[in-house]
Amino acid sequence: MSTIENTVEGDDGVNRRDFLHVAAAGFGAVGAAVAVWPFIDQMNPAADTLALASIEVDLSKIAVGEGVVVKWRGKPVFIRHRTAAEIEEAKAVDVGALVDKQTDAERVLPGKEEWLVVLGVCTHLGCVPLGTKTGDDRGEFGGWFCPCHGSHYDTSGRIRKGPAPRNLEVPGYAFASDTVLKIG
């Protein structure tokens, strides 16, 4: 057809029209990809969800050997006031033999070893492990036990047995005073 006859071809058989086609299609594809992004990103946490304030917890009422569950960002956080024996147990573990190798010291604040603060979310598929309430099944390692698929955590919240791949996560926290803990 006439348009084709009128096109100048280079030595390699590629002409200006081919270039224009590729350039236009490429430009369109990039534009479409850019337009899609807002529709994906709208699913990510919104500004108000992200802004969920940090919380403060009064520790003075938690006796040694006891624990509490508080809600932070819609998730449970376990705070346990560990006994000397529990701390010893957590320190005595051979780290090399763990699934997720972490010493107890890496999971608590220095000088505050008696306070263990972890997210109450099983790293397997997200159930809330048992073991915070007195009388709960604490599993074979005295920490927490997840009934969903049988994960056992120790007194440092580390995974010791079962399908969970990682230790219970330690959220960012600090001591506002000796008895007030600030999470987030």
The Cα–Cα gap between 113 and 150 comes to 27
Q: Could you list the beta-strand ranges (E) of 3-109.
A: 55-58, 67-72, 75-81
**C-alpha span between 144 and 132 (Å, rounded):** 7
User: What residues numbered 100-119 form the site for ligand FES, per CB under 6 A?
Assistant: none
Out of 70, 98, 109, 148, the only residue in the binding site for ligand FES (CB under 6 A) is 148
151: left (phi over 0), alpha (psi -120 to 50) or beta: beta
Among 10, 28, 31, 165, binds other proteins (CB under 8 A): 165
| Smaller CB separation from other proteins, 86 or 139 | 139
Per-residue mark of binding to other proteins, 144-163 (x: CB under 8 A) = --xxxxx-----------xx
Please, what is the Cα angle at 86 between 152 and 184, to 5 degrees? 75
The answer to the question of residue 36 lying near other proteins (CB under 8 A) is no
Question: Measured between alpha carbons, how far is 133 from 155 in angstroms, rounded to an integer?
Answer: 14
Binding flag, residue 125, other proteins (CB under 8 A):
yes
Q: Residue 151's binding partner, choosing from ligand FES, other proteins, none, with beta-carbon cut-off 5 to 8 A by kind? A: ligand FES
Residue 21 touches which member of other proteins, ligand FES, none, C-beta under 5-8 Å by kind:
none
Spatial separation of the C-alpha atoms in residues 150 and 144, rounded to whole Å: 10
**Active-site residue, from 21, 81, 124, 149:** 149
Residue 21 appears among annotated catalytic residues: no
Site membership for other proteins, residue 135 (CB under 8 A): no
Who contacts 146 (Cβ-Cβ below 8 Å, separation ≥6)? Answer: 122, 124, 127, 128, 129, 130, 152, 153, 162, 164
Contact positions vs other proteins (CB under 8 A): 40, 43-46, 49, 52, 69, 71, 73-76, 120-121, 124-129, 146-150, 162-165
Contact positions vs ligand FES (CB under 6 A): 122, 124-127, 146, 148-151, 162-164
